[in-house]
Structure formats: structure tokens, C-alpha cells
Amino acid sequence: MLPKVKYQSINNISYQAGWDLQTDLHNSLKSNKLEWRHLPEEERGKNTQIHHLLFCQHNHVYTLGKSGSQDHLLLDDAGLDADHIEFFKINRGGDITYHGPGQITGYPIFDLDEFFTDVHKYVRLLEECVIQLLATYNITGYREDGFTGVWIKPKTDGAPKRKICAIGVHLSRWVTMHGFALNVNTDLSYFKNIVPCGIADDDKTVTSIDTELGKKVDQEEVKIRLKSIFAQVFNFEYVETEH
């Protein structure tokens, strides 16, 4: 039986509200596991999780992962206030990144006990979903050795490699939270206030789908395509309501 996933698309949500929602869903899946493990084996097998996939569009915010350096935020509090940008230290892996309008911030909240218990494979499949999505727009994404996320190769010799999707995850009892940030119609100027993902290399920068195509794209259409790809890559089916 395939895992069951509930999908939600939420626009214009504050980062705190999105984090609170993730945390509630994450804790619920963990609580189910703790409750079910005390059942007889024949009863335990009758229970399956309802997993979650959230596609959010946040207000302007910088988030710093637990392994990151605050020195990579190039604005002080006054600068953040002046530009109406929030800042959060959070419990995902990775360094600092930006979320905001024109970006799809995806939060898979999966109990990997019902998929596979392999963190490396999980991150690689997140990348694979984005790479397949980009291919539908005739954009070739790839994995850069030594760096997590999805990249676009240089257009010409000497041009920088361009990161289009950042990834940072957190797992507890094999239940995932946080996820990926895909730049679709993103205002890339907000990345100038940080050292994105802690990468200060001159030969690396950030990009977005609209930058690569030279035109804005329908973000809702991107979500529809990406939603379908997730189900194929992770081999699950969607449910409309919880059972």
C-alpha cells in the first residue's frame, strides 16, 4: 500500500505561522508512532500515517540553520526593520537563506519509516524532484559536488554556476520537516543582504526560473507540476482529507 499524503498550498504566510504549522504536523506524526508501538503487532499494522506536503509562499524572511554563521547576515536589526524583513534562527541543517514572494518553499512532513530510512537518499530525492520540474521548462538542473541543492551550469566559460534551489532539513524519529526553497519569480536582490547558504565563492551565485527563461512563469502551474512529480519520485498517493 502506498503512503498517503495530504497536500496544502498556502500563499502569503508568515514564517512563524508556517513553522508553527510544520511543528504541529511533525509532532502529530511522531505521537502516532509512539502510541502505535505499544499496540499488538496485528493491530499496529492496521495504522498508517497521513503525511503532509506544504507548498508555502512566505513574507520576506531570512532563516539561519543550526550549523550556520550569523556573520552571513549582512544587515543589522535596523536594516532588517527598514526593509521589512524578518529573521529566524531555526533547527534545520544548512546556513542562511532567503524566503519570500515568488518562491515556493516546500515542506515535506513525511514519516520515513513508511518510505525508507535513509537521510542521504531523502535529500537526493528532493533534489531529483526539482531537477525533473526544471526539465519541464527546458532548464537543465544538476547536483554540484560538495553542495546540497540544485544548480544550473554556467552559460559560458568563466560565468558563475547558479543555485536555483536550496535544501535544508530536520529529522526526529525519522519524521521530516523543513525542506526546500525553489526560486520561481523571486526578487533575487534580497540575496545580496546575505551570504547565501554560506557560499562566498566568486564562481557561484543564485538564479530563478524566470531569470533563466527571461519571463515570468505561472507559479500555480509550477506547483501543479511539482506536486505531481513528488508523488512519482517518492511513490505515494494524495488524499484530500484525513481518515
- Active-site residues, by number, are 197
Q: Determine the Cα–Cα distance for residues 233 and 228; give it in Å rounded to an integer.
A: 9
For residue 6, give the C-alpha cell: 495530504
Question: Could you write out the DSSP letters of every residue in 156-194?
Answer: STTPPEEEEEEEEEEEETTEEEEEEEEESS--GGGGGGB
How are beta strands 204-206 and 50-58 bridged, if at all? Answer: unpaired
- Residues whose CB falls within 8 Å of the CB of residue 211, separated by 6 or more in sequence, listed in order: 183, 188
Half-sphere exposure of 21 toward its Cβ, with a 13 Å CA cutoff? 17
